[in-house]
Amino acid sequence: MKFKNPSTPFPSVGYFGPEYFCDRKVETETLIKNIEGGLSTTLVAIRRIGKTGLIKHVQYLLHDKYICIYADILPTETGIDFLNTLASAILNSVPEKTGLGQKIWSFIKSLRPVITFDKLSGEPNVSFNIQPKETTHQIENLFEFLEQQDRRVIFAVDEFQQILDYPEKSMEAWLRTTIQQLQNVIFIYSGSQPHLMNEMFANPSNPFFRSTVLLPLEKINFESYQAYIIQKFKDSKKEIESQVAAEMLDWTTGHTYFVQLLCNRVFIGSKRVVTTEVWQNEALKLLKEQEIIFLGYRDNLTREQWKLLKAIAQAGKAYSITSKSFIREYALGSSATIIRSVNSLEKKSFIYMQYDAEGNRFYSVYDVLFQRWIQNL
């Protein structure tokens, strides 16, 4: 499995091999042990923390022993969309010219779908022209095919909580019943809405309860990320002091996507030495570029929602948001109004709720750039 080199040492999207993958040693070992033990795993974390990168990294390490399949179902809206995405993922899992690849192509074609090719990537896309009631039968055919393979299968389904929005309300229960019969397929379920994923896999009343090992994904260790940043600049003959790298990590709150984005821009915009002034200039450019979007966000919120969002952004981590002290500090309304605003902001993915190491609940703004923009108002 070969990778193209990224344009900078700090790609913000995609997986480019172990050389550009930072830390996650414990999570990698845990996932591999689960897979080798035949256990499916549920990865839970906020968006763009690195779930997909971790999945791709583990599949890269194991691709010689397993058939590795990855499907992102976020764009799907129905059971037929789900079927099409799974079939496309299976078709793209192994090069067509290999023996297994030819076997997969022959099988998929036998199901009589429409196969087209993406104009940009050249990858095949599978589309079934069937009645909704036939969807489950075709999904069963896909799983049965994988079950019959000589090599075990690692099937990663990203943004798995999306199935909750399908009009087929029985999909979750049916899928669980079907999957639990498989012995040759190990699943990695990944989701970026922790409250929904926890509800699906930790609530005794739901079909997927206790069906997997839960693996919450936290931010990358500060010191490890700091050392990684310094080394990547050094490998390209650029200098960055540990304090400057620490400043960049603090500004991005250690959120993987935003760390990579800022480092990418700093790498491109810097000469031989990276200083505080250099990274701050690039950070300001990022905020300026996004300003029109952020103004749109603001205009689509009610006055109460905007005031609460500003308060959470200013706090960074907002604890006890309905407490008298928090309300007084940020001149907010009643606790009932705050609760309504919180629910709306969470639903729109402006904020997320998480627990700290001591088990205390807090709220933060999802988009770090949006948070920093608010703080600069």
- pLDDT tens-digit profile of 228-272? 999 999 999 999 999 999 999 999 999 999 999 999 999 999 999
Instruction: Assign 52 a pLDDT band (cuts: 50, 70, 90).
Output: very high
Percent of the chain having pLDDT more than 70? 100
* Contact criterion met (CB below 8 Å) for 288 and 369: no
Cα→Cα distances 365→204, 312, 318, Å: 30, 7, 9
The pLDDT confidence band at residue 45, using thresholds 50, 70 and 90, is: very high
Rounded to an integer, what distance in angstroms lies between the CA atom of residue 3 and that of residue 16?
6
What is the spatial distance between Cα 228 and Cα 309, in angstroms, rounded to a whole number?
Answer: 33
User: Which amino acid is it at 136?
Assistant: T
- Are 286 and 318 in contact by the 8 Å Cβ rule? The answer is no
pLDDT tier for residue 121 given thresholds of 50, 70 and 90: confident
Enter the tokens of residue 335. 């606790």
Structure tokens at 208: 């997927």
> Does the pLDDT of residue 109 top 90, yes or no?
yes
Mean pLDDT on 122-136:
92
What pLDDT band is residue 126 in, cutting at 50, 70 and 90? very high
Give residue 78's region: left, alpha or beta (phi > 0; psi -120 to 50): beta
**pLDDT class for 195, splitting at 50, 70, 90?**
confident
pLDDT at 357: 86
Q: Is the pLDDT of residue 1 over 80?
A: no
- DSSP 8-state symbol, 370: H
Please give the mean pLDDT across all residues of the chain.
95
pLDDT for 169 equals 86
Q: Among 3-7, 74-78, 145-149, 338-342, name the one with the lowest average pLDDT.
A: 3-7
Model confidence at 5, in pLDDT bands (50, 70, 90)?
Answer: confident
Q: How many CB atoms neighbour CB 323 within 10 A?
A: 12
What is the model's pLDDT at position 4? 81
Query: Over 80: is that where the pLDDT of 28 sits?
Result: yes
Which amino acid is residue 348, in one-letter code?
K
